[in-house]
């Protein structure tokens, strides 16, 4: 690395590039750019942004995964506009290359055409493992996991199933933080959306990954994302497969699914991210959960080493990355895990539901239906805290998300 160049493999430069690939809001990008320059977007920072992040997207950080990467032009145009404006306002030099790229967008691209024709884009979600997590079996030497996803540009315009929701990110962090909980387990996700949770389950080597969604366009987009991540798709859900790279996907409208359609599924863990949102759908969701939770247990009846079932109190689930005593490490920083006594007695199958409670009445309706179905629900947000693997994602408010465990009484 030449003298005076920023180190792209270390924060805050790594965080900036990760945020750019994830298409974080441009205000967040600008804040990270300032961090790179210790408060300003200096010429040095601009050279890093142009040379490493824009001009050579196939960089040394992610060489094989993004060699054909092309940034979404309207997004990059908006960022360059803010970058130039701030540099000029602070009387800093602006690189000619940045001026030229912005001028190209101004003269060659029409906003109204781009906005009308491009509905979905590729985002790259970078899970960044801190150094103390190197002992995790899923953590590569680079301490990075890059997941490409095709998703909607606007989650509020009728394409919600193809958007990346906060609870989906949170559940993915849980899977990657506690791989022993999901490894060698049969996992079934309801409302799988873009497929991020399923990709993470495959990464930690779940014995079976079944993804489902009630919207056909969402399902098609999900299959594309699985293929982007080098996973094969199995649409015959009755077929038995031991291929860890194969993920089952099928159409599952909650309101019309019959019990016999679910008889072949005997999951150890059911997962759901941001599925508690529509009061009309909640009775169907609870009926689906009840059916899956009361199926004959599969892996959860078997003994694997010293771990039995999906007990969250099992010693195989503990992940203590800083070497502290597990009984004392309950300071809420996510570096260790100490389960409450009530969780130690739970055996699978179980459901993990991550959700932002946007409407209290809707959530209370869900609780009433859970109780009526003879299921139990426990808030495990404070006892199952994942590592912060997305430190660059300022738009992601982890504190707004609750994690619930649902099981049969």
Max CA distance (Å), the chain = 69
Q: Which of 60, 93, 116 is the last residue of a domain?
A: 116
Which of the 8 DSSP states describes residue 11?
Answer: T
197 assigned to some structural domain? yes
Statement to judge: residues 106 and 177 lie in one domain: no
| Cα separation, 249 vs 229, whole angstroms | 15
Statement to judge: residues 358 and 220 lie in one domain: yes
Q: For residue 350, what are the β-bridge partners?
A: 269
Q: What residues contact residue 327 under an 8 Å CB cut-off, 6+ apart?
A: 338
Statement to judge: residues 225 and 168 lie in one domain: yes
Statement to judge: residues 266 and 382 lie in one domain: yes
DSSP character string of 362-374: HHHHHHHHHHHTT
Q: Which of 116, 140, 168 is the last residue of a domain?
A: 116
Q: Please state the domain count of the chain.
A: 2
Statement to judge: residues 158 and 107 lie in one domain: no
Statement to judge: residues 368 and 219 lie in one domain: yes
Distances (CA, A) of 44 to 8, 56, 285: 12, 16, 53
pLDDT per residue of the chain (409 residues) written in tens, 0 to 9: 454 789 998 899 999 999 999 999 999 999 999 999 999 999 999 999 999 998 866 444 444 544 445 678 889 999 999 999 999 999 899 999 999 999 998 887 765 455 555 678 899 999 999 887 656 656 666 688 999 999 987 766 556 789 999 999 999 999 999 999 999 999 999 999 999 999 999 999 999 999 999 999 999 999 999 999 999 999 877 777 767 788 999 999 998 887 777 888 899 999 999 999 899 999 999 999 999 998 755 444 443 433 344 444 322 222 332 222 333 333 333 333 333 434 445 566 999 999 999 999 999 999 999 999 999 999 999 999 999 999 999 999 999 999 999 999 8
99 assigned to some structural domain? yes
Residue where the block lists tokens 């239906």: 369
Statement to judge: residues 36 and 100 lie in one domain: yes
| Cα separation, 324 vs 105, whole angstroms | 53
Statement to judge: residues 353 and 283 lie in one domain: yes
Residue ranges making up the domain that contains 368:
154-296+347-408
140 assigned to some structural domain? no
95 assigned to some structural domain? yes
27 assigned to some structural domain? yes
Statement to judge: residues 70 and 212 lie in one domain: no
Statement to judge: residues 106 and 181 lie in one domain: no
Distances (CA, A) of 199 to 146, 148, 195, 295, 365: 11, 10, 6, 25, 31
48 assigned to some structural domain? yes
Sign for the CA dihedral angle at 199, 166, 335, 142 comes to positive
Statement to judge: residues 38 and 166 lie in one domain: no
| Cα separation, 388 vs 333, whole angstroms | 9
Residue where the block lists tokens 């150094």: 131
Statement to judge: residues 234 and 366 lie in one domain: yes
| Helical segments of 184-324, H only | 196-203, 216-228, 282-293
């Amino acid at each position: 690395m030449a003298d005076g160049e920023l180190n792209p493999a270390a924060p805050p430069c790594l965080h900036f590039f990760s945020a750019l690939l994830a298409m974080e809001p441009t205000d967040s990008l600008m804040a990270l750019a300032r961090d790179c320059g210790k408060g300003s977007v200096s010429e040095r920072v601009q050279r890093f942004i142009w040379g490493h992040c824009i001009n050579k997207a196939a960089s040394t950080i992610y060489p094989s995964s993004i060699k054909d990467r092309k940034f979404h032009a309207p997004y990059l145009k908006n960022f360059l506009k803010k970058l130039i404006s701030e540099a000029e306002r602070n009387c800093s030099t602006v690189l000619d290359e940045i001026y030229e790229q912005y001028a190209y967008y101004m003269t060659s691209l029409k906003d109204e055409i781009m906005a009308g024709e491009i509905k979905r884009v590729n985002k790259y979600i970078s899970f960044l493992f801190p150094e103390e997590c190197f002992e995790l079996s899923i953590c590569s030497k680079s301490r990075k996991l890059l997941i490409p996803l095709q998703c909607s540009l606007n989650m509020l315009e009728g394409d919600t199933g193809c958007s990346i929701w906060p609870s989906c990110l949170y559940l993915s962090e849980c899977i990657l933080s506690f791989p022993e909980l999901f490894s060698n387990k049969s996992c079934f996700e309801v409302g799988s959306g873009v497929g991020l949770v399923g990709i993470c389950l495959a990464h930690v080597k779940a014995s079976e990954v079944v993804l489902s969604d009630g919207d056909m366009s969402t399902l098609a987009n999900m299959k594309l994302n699985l293929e982007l991540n080098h996973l094969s798709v199995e649409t015959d859900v009755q077929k038995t497969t031991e291929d860890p790279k194969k993920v089952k996907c099928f159409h599952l409208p909650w309101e019309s699914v019959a019990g016999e359609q679910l008889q072949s599924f005997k999951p150890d863990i059911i997962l759901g991210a941001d599925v508690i949102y529509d009061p009309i759908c909640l009775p169907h969701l609870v009926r689906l959960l009840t059916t899956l939770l009361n199926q004959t247990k599969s892996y959860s009846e078997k003994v694997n080493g010293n771990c039995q079932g999906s007990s969250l109190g099992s010693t195989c689930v503990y992940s203590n990355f800083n070497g502290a005593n597990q009984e004392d490490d309950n300071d809420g920083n996510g570096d260790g895990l100490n389960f409450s006594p009530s969780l130690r007695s739970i055996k699978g199958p179980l459901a993990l539901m991550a959700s932002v409670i946007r409407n209290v009445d809707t959530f209370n309706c869900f609780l009433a239906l859970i109780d009526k179905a003879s299921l139990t629900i426990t808030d495990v947000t404070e006892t199952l805290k994942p590592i912060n693997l997305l430190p660059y994602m300022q738009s992601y408010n982890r504190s707004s998300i609750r994690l619930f465990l649902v099981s049969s009484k």
